[in-house]
Structure 1
Amino acid sequence: MGLFDRLFGNTQEDVDTSQPKENLTSQEQVDTAQAEPVEAETAEVQELLEDELVVSSSESELSQEVTSEQASLTEGQEHFNAVMADYYAKKAAAKEAQEKGQEIHFQAVETKVVSQEEPEPASETTEDKYNRSLKKTRTGFAARLNEFFANFRRVDEDFFEELEELLILSDVGVTVATQLTEDLRYEAKLENAKKPEDLQRVIIEKLVNIYDKDGVYNEKINFQDGLTVMLFVGVNGVGKTTSIGKLAHKYKTEGKKVMLVAADTFRAGAVAQLLEWGRRVDVPVVTGKDKADPASVVFDGMEKAVAEGVDILMIDTAGRLQNKDNLMAELEKIGRIIKRVVPEAPHETLLALDASTGQNALSQAKEFSKITPLTGLVLTKIDGTAKGGVVLAIREELAIPVKLIGFGEKIDDIGEFNSEDFMRGLLEELL
Structure 2
Amino acid sequence: MPTQQAATAALDSAFSIRLTTRLANLLLGSDSLQRLTLALLGLAALVTATVVALLVYAASIGVADVRLVKVMTVLFIASAAGFYIVIRSGLNQRFNDPTLAMPQTIIAQTLIAAAYAITGPVHGATVIMLSLVMVFGMFSLRPMAVRLACIYTVTLMGIVMYWCAGHQPLHYPARQEIFNFALTAIVMLAISQLSGQLTDMRTRLKTQKIALEGALSHIKEMAARDELTGLPNRRRMMTLLQEHATRHARGGPRFFVCIIDLDHFKNINDTYGHAAGDSVLRAFATQAQVVLRTTDMIGRWGGEEFLLLLPETPPGGPALGVERLRESLAAIPASHSLPEVRVRFSAGFARYEDGEPIDQAIERADRALYAAKSAGRNRSVIL
TM-based fold match above 0.5: no
Structure of larger gyration radius: 2
Structure of greater relative contact order (alpha carbons < 8 Å, 6+ residues apart): 1
Q: Identify, as 1 or 2, the structure richer in helix.
A: 2
Q: What TM-score does the superposition give when structure 2 sets the normalisation length?
A: 0.19
